[in-house]
Structure 1
Amino acid sequence: MSKKRYLYFDLLSVVACLAVIFLHCNGIVHWGPQTPHWSQALAVEVGFYWAVPIFFMCTGAKTLDYRDRKSTRQFLTSRLKGIFFPFLAWSMIIFVAKINGMLGAAPEGWSPSLSSFAQAFMGSQIDGTYWFFFAMFGVTMSIPVLSYLRGHKDAMWYLVIVYSVLYGTIVPLTRMLGIPWNDSIAIPVAGGYVMYVILGYLLAKDDGTVVTAKRRKILYVAGIAGLAVRYGYTWIASQQMGAVNTTLFDYNFLTAILPSAALFVFFKNVDWERLSLFKNANVKKAVASLSGLTFGIYLLHNSVLSLFVLLFSLDMSSYFVRLVLPFIIFAVCSAISLLLNKIPVVRGIVGGWR
């Protein structure tokens, strides 16, 4: 049985991938409030923070029912080929490029040896954005177990709600207010982004019984409130500290959960097929094709950013780098990924979310 394709999944993959590039071109947000344009950079950081959660939510929505189409061995094998082999391959390519000064000077202590590569690889030092794949590996290993919960949506909602209360709400509140709290009071089975995987599946499969029209409106308001709280608290606390206050820089806090869930639900409930643009079959095919390139774009984008900065001596605080360059990098990486996909020998190294 083939997997049905949903237009909103493709659109979410594209916008989330572009949002990731915006975040990584917006590095000045970590420099501190004394940095020029920092308030605007913080708005970009807060406004696009849903990108990573959306990837995990789409993963859950598309894979928790894999047993309807394939065996666990086939599922894990396809994920290994589609995600983790390309991740390893590009890690090796980037490591060699940095050792040879092609992406700037190599970090101190690196050497052209297997042990040096292994240490840099496992320490997520080769490409800072590749931490995501280690997290995805843990999520993937959990999916064969999580898939058995499909017939127990009450248990799945329990995991999401309890995790969102214990870790997503209480933990940030205690940190903001300086109240003692033992982080061992948790629900580990939903940790490590598993909560987003479960939430994505639940929201994708919901027929309007749980997330009714009225609750959707409440969720949208709550999502906007989550953005406002994170921006307002971070701006004020950072000004007081004279440095970036990272208290709410956590994907599993409610300030990230609510906007991410709201965006996912919004994209699901828009009738994209009725829009004149998407009545054209070629447009929908192009969106699907672009969605298929997003994995390769993610793999490549940070290296392309580094090359642009190195070759053109770009000012990272400029509006061009933070607001225009992301579109250029997205286009360049799309073209490279498309080209590599057409070459049989190397097609496997740009993989796919599958």
Structure 2
Amino acid sequence: MLHTSQAIFHTNAADPLFKQVRMFQALAIPAVFIFFMISGAMLIDYRSRMTTREFFKKRALRVVVPLILWSVLWYGYDIRFTAYPGPIPHPDPSVSDFLLSFASTNINTLFWFFYVILTLYLVTPLLSALVSLKERGYLFVLVCIYVVTNCFIFYPLEILKISINNNMVNFPLVTFSYLGYFIAGYLIHTDYFSRKQENLIIGIGVIMFVIQVSFVSLGIGTNLDMNNSTGPIVFFYSAGLFTLVKRLMISVKVTASAAKILKTLASTSLGIYIIHPFFIKLFDKLLSITDLSLIHVYLFPFMVYLACVLVVLIVKKLPGGKYIFP
């Protein structure tokens, strides 16, 4: 939904389409941040299941290998073809250009996710050690520092267009822009918060969601970056949604067949993320439309998702397919 509503960057507030794609952006913005929360929920306590050596080996196979492989493939694609969003043209290819582009995330801009998750993996053993010592309270303190620093200092300064030199503050991982999501996901998942505290998180999330939708509906704040990952609206909307889904799933009985389907679909997520720009471009070409088309905005999320699922599942069955799409 986020990537098929990119018309938000090519239209203005006077265009009827602008409000529609802005609403899509507002609704879907928690997507990647919830993925970071799920990653934290599943990985921070890894020491109860594996050694740190095994942890890094599995993470390397699941993330480093596909990052390198698909960076090479997308770079080759970028030489002659285009797609949006993500791929960046490389009219003068060379080994040095590839290495420089790889180091600066200039092969496929959507691959920023890989670089972030790898950074979070590097700090996971330190966070896991606190869990082993039964010091989850320190993890909560880290989330508080993250929220205060990013949501209530840096974000307001950005909105007010006040520039300060915060390089020395940003370097420590404690204020890294996605660490708060990573740790919060683990704390929520492991019932660190009481039911009343979870209700509060859900309530704040609902308020942030209402603010987000109301601003879009009323055409307010078109110049504000309300989808900024460091802003309080996105953080608390994501945390509230994550907590709400957790709460709902406790009371929902999933059949074995439904669980198998969900597990299969979930296994395709990384592959979908990697290849979906190609299918957005392909469908635009086949239908002779652009991202300003309502078909592109409203139907492509489903069309692209289904096409990618089929491709990923087929490739996974081929020899070596599990390395192409872990």
Matches within 5 A, 1:1-354: 22-31=1-10, 32-101=12-81, 110-150=91-131, 151-177=134-160, 183=166, 186=169, 188-190=172-174, 191-206=176-191, 209=194, 212=197, 214-228=199-213, 231=216, 235-238=219-222, 245-271=223-249, 274-275=252-253, 278=254, 280-351=255-326
CA contact (8 A) 2:82 2:88 kept: no
Deviation at 1:237, TM superposition (A): 4.0
Alpha-carbon distance in structure 2 between the residues aligned to 1:266 and 1:222: 13
CA distance 1:333–1:181, shift in 2 (3 Å): same
Task: Please list the CA deviations of residues 244-299 of structure 1 after superposition, one character each: whole Å capped at 9, or x if unmatched.
Answer: x3533421211110110011001100146645xx2x31111110111011111111
Alpha-carbon distance in structure 2 between the residues aligned to 1:213 and 1:272: 14
Structure 2 unmatched ranges of 5 or more: none
Deviation at 1:35, TM superposition (A): 3.9
Q: How many residues align?
A: 319
Query: Which structure is richer in relative contact order (CA contacts within 8 A, separation 6 or more)?
Result: 1
Alpha-carbon distance in structure 2 between the residues aligned to 1:97 and 1:189: 34
Deviation at 1:36, TM superposition (A): 4.0
Alpha-carbon distance in structure 2 between the residues aligned to 1:218 and 1:108: 44
Residue type at the aligned position of 1:253: G
Aligned to 2:13, the other structure's residue is in SS state coil
CA contact (8 A) 1:305 1:329 kept: yes
Alpha-carbon distance in structure 2 between the residues aligned to 1:44 and 1:103: 20
Normalised by the length of structure 2, the TM-score is 0.88
Aligned to 1:37, the other structure's residue is in SS state helix
Q: Which moved more, 1:197-206 or 1:172-181?
A: 172-181
Alpha-carbon distance in structure 2 between the residues aligned to 1:46 and 1:37: 14
CA contact (8 A) 2:212 2:233 kept: yes
Aligned to 2:55, the other structure's residue is in SS state helix
CA distance 1:230–1:66, shift in 2 (3 Å): farther
CA contact (8 A) 2:8 2:18 kept: yes
Aligned to 1:119, the other structure's residue is in SS state helix
Alpha-carbon distance in structure 2 between the residues aligned to 1:335 and 1:208: 39
Alpha-carbon distance in structure 2 between the residues aligned to 1:217 and 1:197: 18
CA contact (8 A) 1:301 1:330 kept: yes
Alpha-carbon distance in structure 2 between the residues aligned to 1:178 and 1:127: 29
CA contact (8 A) 1:227 1:255 kept: yes
Alpha-carbon distance in structure 2 between the residues aligned to 1:134 and 1:77: 17
CA contact (8 A) 1:230 1:248 kept: no
1:14 equivalent in structure 2: none
CA contact (8 A) 1:29 1:42 kept: yes
Alpha-carbon distance in structure 2 between the residues aligned to 1:230 and 1:172: 18
Residue type at the aligned position of 2:149: L
CA contact (8 A) 2:280 2:304 kept: yes
CA distance 1:103–1:195, shift in 2 (3 Å): closer
Normalised by the length of structure 1, the TM-score is 0.81
Aligned to 2:107, the other structure's residue is in SS state coil
Deviation at 1:155, TM superposition (A): 1.2
Aligned to 1:316, the other structure's residue is in SS state coil
CA distance 1:54–1:211, shift in 2 (3 Å): farther
CA distance 1:29–1:46, shift in 2 (3 Å): same
